[in-house]
A = this chain, B = another copy of it.
Amino acid sequence: MKLVVLTGIPGSGSTTILNRALEKVDYLHLNYGDIMTEIAMEKGLVENRDELRKLAADTQKEIQKEAGIRIKEKSQSENVIVDTHCTISTPAGFLPGLPKWVLEGLNPDTFILVEAYPDEIMVRRLNDETRERDAQKASEIQLHQEMNRAASMAYATLTGATVKIINNHDNHLDTTVEKLVEVLKL
């Protein structure tokens, strides 16, 4: 059984290709934030997902760690793909989505980074009205993707997982989905 982590910055199209790939492979799809919310609700700490970030940093860290362990457990009996952030671009800088204490419990087999050209991402963000997204400049997008690559190799070093980059360029959705399916079937 495999445990795959899928990431991509807003506008990379990771959600789209994941949903399409899931029609073709037998994987349980989990979202990291959902599992954290589930755990925090069980503990009676929150009543919904929005309250998560209001918890003390140490509590959030503890829940983040437990979520990693719970996801790993689920992957014992079936293939699991988790979507989460490689790093999150915050005002204080790039925050690693999978710091050491999460990786120790999660211990995935593969990280997949869905990428696209900065100009493609910019246009997709303009078109996207479902989420609030900053119109980051192309250079910031490029930087974010570069920092994600660096972070992913640090994650891989701690876990021994592979890092797969999948380019999700415009007008190639079918081929891109196929590439993701291939990795998931390995």
Binding site for B on A (CB under 8 A): 61, 87, 90-96, 98-101, 103, 109-112, 143, 146-147, 149-160, 162-165, 182-183, 186
Contacts and interface: CB of A to CB of B under 8 A. Distances in A.
Given A91-B186, A92-B183, A182-B91, A154 B150 contact: yes
A165 B143 CA distance: 9
Nearest to A148: B153
Given A153-B87, A157-B154, A95 B162 contact: yes
B147 A153 contact: yes
B99 A159 contact: yes
Nearest to A61: B160
30 contacts: A61-B160, A90-B162, A91-B183, A91-B186, A92-B109, A92-B110, A92-B162, A92-B164, A92-B183, A93-B111, A94-B162, A94-B163, A95-B156, A95-B160, A96-B153, A96-B156, A99-B159, A99-B160, A100-B157, A100-B158, A143-B165, A147-B153, A150-B150, A150-B152, A150-B154, A151-B153, A151-B156, A153-B154, A154-B156, A155-B157
Contacts of A143: 165
Q: Which of A91, A95, A112, A150 has the most CB of B within 10 A?
A: A150
B186 A96 contact: no
Q: Which of A100, A160, A165 has the most CB of B within 10 A?
A: A160
Contacts of A164: 92-94
